[in-house]
Amino acid sequence: MFADQVNIIIRSGSGGDGHVSFRRELYVPAGGPNGGDGGRGGDIIFVVDKGLNNLSDFRRNKKYSATNGEEGGKNRCHGKDGQDLIIKVPEGTVIRDTKTGLVIADMSHGNERQTILKGGRGGKGNMHYATSTMQAPKYAQPGKPGMELAVTLELKVIADVGLVGYPNVGKSTLLSRVTNARPKIANYHFTTLNPIQGVVDLPDGQGFVMADIPGIIDGASAGAGLGFEFLRHIERTKVLVHVVDAAGSEGRDPIEDIYHINEELKSYKADLEHKPQIIAANKLDILPEEEAQQIADRLRKEFEPQGYTVMPISAVTGKGVKELLYKIREMLNNLDEEPIVFQPEYIPQKETVEEPFEVYRDPDEERTFVVEGPRIERMLGYTNLESEKGFAFFQKFLKENGILKMLEQLGIRDGDTVRMYGHEFDYYK
């Protein structure tokens, strides 16, 4: 089954924890810390696979996770890095944050590989935290957690020209005549159930890509029928060819058809109705010549003052098709050649380094607690505890980092001593 929009959950790997260990050898009673670093977590990487043309594979599996990094080891051994996860998508896939709808990446026009979520950084082992005042640190940095994100994958075909119009007006027949595409063609609605594209080759070498967008019906922009599923594919196209059953073979008025479809384009996204548009008045070959001419004149009188070009064609016999193709090429030549790419609006990566600290009872002194770690030592280095503001900052730091809560969990009482790198404080709640 064709799928052009799916929601999945992706998760990068967590970094492995740093290790706490000490060198222990005969005749080396205090060999110092030698705990190794943890491995980094695996990344989530999206890669374009040009052999794919839809997102149906994602309907079976909704969650994708990279592996975690391994914990560091003793003797300065580095933990093994987590394995990256490669997710293959069709060219033209737009990746959005499901919650906000913001674009994360557009996998098109040369962007064939992009890292969407970085794995967590591995934690540093205790060998990094030895200082002149703390030569045997009993702590290591924990690995940074991986990131989890719900994303929407949205496939938008990459075509210069989009064929739009009601079902069964001849779009598939026209595409099969002018390109190498071979869509199924039959006399019933919604024969085309997925966008089909092909390359139009012109003698001068200035070809272009044309896509048949499945039939749109009234209310498509609000979700009616199948049209809503495929309106997104029009967004990349530069020129719209509005194929209309000018003969009214199904009992509809061609002028009303054109207005209805354009209203759906406008309702879906306001800018779609402003794309350059050619009206291909199809099926006039089934009418007497005089009647066909009257209908063509009626269409020109109605729409050419609005800036549309009306071209009578027969997708079955090929009459007028060559002229239509050269008119499309002329319009494309007058447009900006820059590809339509959806620019990133949201970058989910965030890299913060949380340095470790440790809170414990002093084993040698009753009612004394010790708080230590590089973050604590650095904070004390730039904080003036003699000033009122500095001491208030110090207290806020202890509270926001959960240090006060940890002391309480260890059973600290009023009047107990807290020691931090040469500073001693009396605890009072």
User: How far apart are the C-alpha atoms of 15 and 122, rounded to whole Å?
Assistant: 4
Least confident of 5-19, 76-90, 376-390, 397-411: 376-390
238: phi > 0 → left, psi -120 to 50 → alpha, else beta; which?
alpha
CATH 2.70.210.12 is held by the domain 1-155: yes
CA distances from 194 to 9, 89, 136 (A): 25, 17, 66
Q: What is the pLDDT of residues 153-190, one digit of tens each?
A: 998 888 899 998 888 888 888 988 888 766 554 444 44
User: Count of residues for the chain?
Assistant: 429
Longest dimension (CA), the chain: 111
Percent of the chain with pLDDT over 70: 88
For the chain, the domains span 1-155, 161-333, 358-426
Cβ burial, residue 238 (10 Å; 0-12/13-18/19+): buried
Torsion angle, alpha carbons of 87, 90, 96, 102, to 10 = 140
Superfamily of domain 161-333: P-loop containing nucleotide triphosphate hydrolases (3.40.50.300)
Q: What is the pLDDT of residues 253-306, one digit of tens each?
A: 999 999 988 888 888 776 777 889 999 999 988 889 899 999 999 999 999 999
pLDDT at 331 over 90: yes
286: phi > 0 → left, psi -120 to 50 → alpha, else beta; which?
alpha
The average confidence (pLDDT) of the chain is 84
Residue 194: predicted pLDDT: 66
Cβ 282 vs Cβ 172: under 8 Å: no
Cβ 325 vs Cβ 111: under 8 Å: no
pLDDT at 122 over 50: yes
- The CATH class that applies to domain 358-426 reads alpha beta
- For the whole model, what pTM was predicted? 0.69
Q: The tokens of 292 are what?
A: 């066909």
User: How far apart are the C-alpha atoms of 384 and 273, rounded to whole Å?
Assistant: 64
Kindly indicate the confidence band of residue 225, based on its pLDDT and cuts at 50, 70 and 90. Answer: very low
Kindly indicate the confidence band of residue 27, based on its pLDDT and cuts at 50, 70 and 90. Answer: low
- Strand order of the sheet with strand 417-420? 358-361, 368-372, 417-420, 423-426
Nearest to 157 by CA among 229, 259, 221: 229
Residue 355: predicted pLDDT: 66
Q: Mean of the pLDDT values across residues 134-157?
A: 87
Cβ 410 vs Cβ 421: under 8 Å: no
Kindly indicate the confidence band of residue 151, based on its pLDDT and cuts at 50, 70 and 90. Answer: very high
Residue 354: predicted pLDDT: 60
Helices (H), 203-287: 227-230, 254-268
